[in-house]
Amino acid sequence: QKEVEQDPGPLSVPEGAIVSLNCTYSNSAFQYFMWYRQYSRKGPELLMYTYSSGNKEDGRFTAQVDKSSKYISLFIRDSQPSDSATYLCAMGPNQAGTALIFGKGTTLSVSS
Amino acid sequence: DSGVTQTPKHLITATGQRVTLRCSPRSGDLSVYWYQQSLDQGLQFLIHYYNGEERAKGNILERFSAQQFPDLHSELNLSSLELGDSALYFCASSVDGGELFFGEGSRLTVL
């Protein structure tokens, strides 16, 4: 079983839709959870960072962490064409205590 | 702009060759991480340096090596290249090991 599982999609939605992206993980030692967004031909950029179970909201984005189920989610409200990108979940620390483990990413396309 | 600079952006080389990828971290960041991104494996952690010292190794092949210099820039050396080494190589820097700031990557094509 991989440490972090993420459905690669692709996911296609119309503009204005609510998008739900998810990851599951197996390592109960993970303490912090992040979502990165990666546009084509660019490096990943941090979108959301949560340190514990619960919800965190930032504008149209909400991150949820359920440590008991080892499940994290990212919700995007009122999706826009500019949200079209690959979304990577990340969590850490890894066994060495130093790095993030990433999911493979979900490719999202929002059509206008 | 993340503040992390990687060169070269693109590199095409032949099997068996050796290449060096360079990374300049954000000002003030002591940690540099190298990741490899391929379509089938996603972002894979290779190695982490902190203030010139190796801190952790991930899925890094023996043909690959890295170092971090006193001015904190880092280089990733890839030798005896194989077709399967074709990928995007990202450098990231961090203050405290939590949030990582990524460069735009070096795309390596091995023919």
Helix (H), strand (E), coil (C) string for A13-32: EECCCCEEEEEEECCCCCCE
Which token pair is B35?
Answer: 């990741």
Q: Cα dist. A99→A74, B56, B111 in Å?
A: 21, 8, 31
Chain A partners within 8 Å of B56 (Cβ): 94, 96-99
Q: Cβ of A96 and B100 within 8 Å?
A: no
Proportion of chain A above pLDDT 90, given as a percent: 73
Alpha-carbon distance B31 to nearest alpha carbon in chain A (angstroms): 10
Q: Lowest mean pLDDT: which of B52-61, B71-80, B83-92?
A: B52-61
Q: Cβ of A43 and B90 within 8 Å?
A: yes
Q: pLDDT (tens digit, 9 = 90+) per residue, B19-71?
A: 999 999 999 999 999 999 998 888 999 999 999 999 999 989 999 999 999 99
Closest partner residue to A43 among B31, B42, B105, by Cβ?
A: B105
Give the torsion sign (CA, A106, A40, B1, B48): positive
Closest partner residue to B99 among A46, A99, A105, by Cβ?
A: A46
Which of the two residues, B78 and A29, has the higher pLDDT score?
B78
- The answer to whether residue B60 neighbours chain A at the CB level (below 8 Å) is no
Closest partner residue to B98 among A32, A45, A96, by Cβ?
A: A32
